[in-house]
Amino acid sequence: MYYEMIGFHGEHQSEHTVDGVPEPKLDRSTLFLDFDGTLVELADRPDAIEVDPGLEALLRGLSEKTRGRVVIITGRAIEDITQYLGDFDGPIIGGHGAQERMSGEIRNHELADPETVKRLGEMTHAFAATHPGLICEEKPTGVVLHFRQNEDLAAQAYAFLRALSETHEGFDLHHSKMAYELRPAGIGKDVSMRRLMENEHFAGTMPIFFGDDVTDEPALHWVCEQGGLAVKVGEGETAAGCRLGEPEAARRTLRRWLEA
């Protein structure tokens, strides 16, 4: 709303649309991009994704156009996601907001005590080892149990992590696509976005966010409230004003913005 009151749309958006998404003035925008299900298609396992060969060049080009304001905002750990981003050296928010990479330096959330996270990881790993079809993904700030390989184990995965969340103060249980996850309490992509937009390099620009998951909804909602551009990728209820069918459509839209 604030941005609309100060004439945000006229100043930050052109009249053109690509696949129904208004084309923003990139030099006056901050572009937040979710990763899994948004920039890359979902796969059976976290390590089985296939990254489009043009993604690195796309991110670097957009980064140049936005003057360094392309932010990868993902649930993955920063140490994991960087292997898929080539030489992209811009800001990254990882672990759903529990990690941040700014100017090349990684900072973890203070609630993610390394000893506690290690213990949570070991217990979850042992649980997954006795439940074929569950995959344990350990992060520096939490742990995930994936049940995509066997949906019948969803309830057991939930019950196990719920018990851990009840015995480990400071960690909350969240549901995402075919997975349950323990993360530090109080974090979220919306919280991180709000904080980053107060930084002088980003303040006064229009926030844009492409996201696909229920875990992206608070951030999509926040971007709408700011009069920014929220784009939902894929199916499902959303607060976003625009929708693209799948990651290929998201990459196509971004490529057209780059070429405009």
Ligand X SMILES: O=P(O)(O)OC[C@H]1O[C@H](O[C@H]2O[C@H](CO)[C@@H](O)[C@H](O)[C@H]2O)[C@H](O)[C@@H](O)[C@@H]1O
Sites of contact with ligand X (CB under 6 A) = 34-37, 42-46, 49, 74-76, 137, 144, 146, 148, 176-179, 213
Tally of CB atoms within 10 A around 172: 15
**Are the beta carbons of 259 and 18 closer than 8 angstroms?**
no
What is the closest distance, in whole angstroms, from the C-beta atom of residue 134 to ligand X in the complex? 11
Q: Which residue's beta carbon is nearest to the bound ligand X?
A: 75
State the CB neighbour count (10 A cutoff) for residue 202. 19
Q: Which is nearer to ligand X, 35 or 171 (CB)?
A: 35
- Cα–Cα separations (whole angstroms), residue 119 to 125, 146, 161: 10, 18, 13
> Minimum CB separation from ligand X for residue 51, in Å?
11
CA distance 144 to 148: 12
Cβ distance to ligand X smaller for residue 229 or 233: 233
Core vs surface per residue 15-50: b (16+ CB within 10 A) or e = eeebeebbbbbbebbbbbbbbbbbbbebeeebeebe
The CA-to-CA distance between both ends of the chain, in Å, stands at 27
21: phi then psi, degrees, rounded to nearest 5: -100, 125
Question: Tokens 């839209």 correspond to what residue?
Answer: 253
- As a whole number of angstroms, the distance between CA 199 and CA 248 comes to 31
Give the shortest CB-141-to-ligand X separation in angstroms: 11
DSSP, collapsed to helix, strand or coil, labels residue 61 as helix
Shortest Å, Cβ 243 to ligand X: 16
Distance CA 167, CA 171 (A): 9
Which residues are part of the catalytic machinery? Answer: 34
Tell me the closest approach of the beta carbon of residue 113 to ligand X, in angstroms: 20
Nearer to ligand X, 1 or 43 (CB): 43
Closest to ligand X by CB, 37 vs 227, is 37
Strands (E), 97-256: 99-102, 105-108, 135-139, 142-146, 171-176, 179-184, 206-211, 229-233, 242-244
CB of 72 to ligand X, least distance (A): 8
User: Which CB sits closer to ligand X, 69 or 183?
Assistant: 183
Nearer to ligand X, 43 or 163 (CB): 43
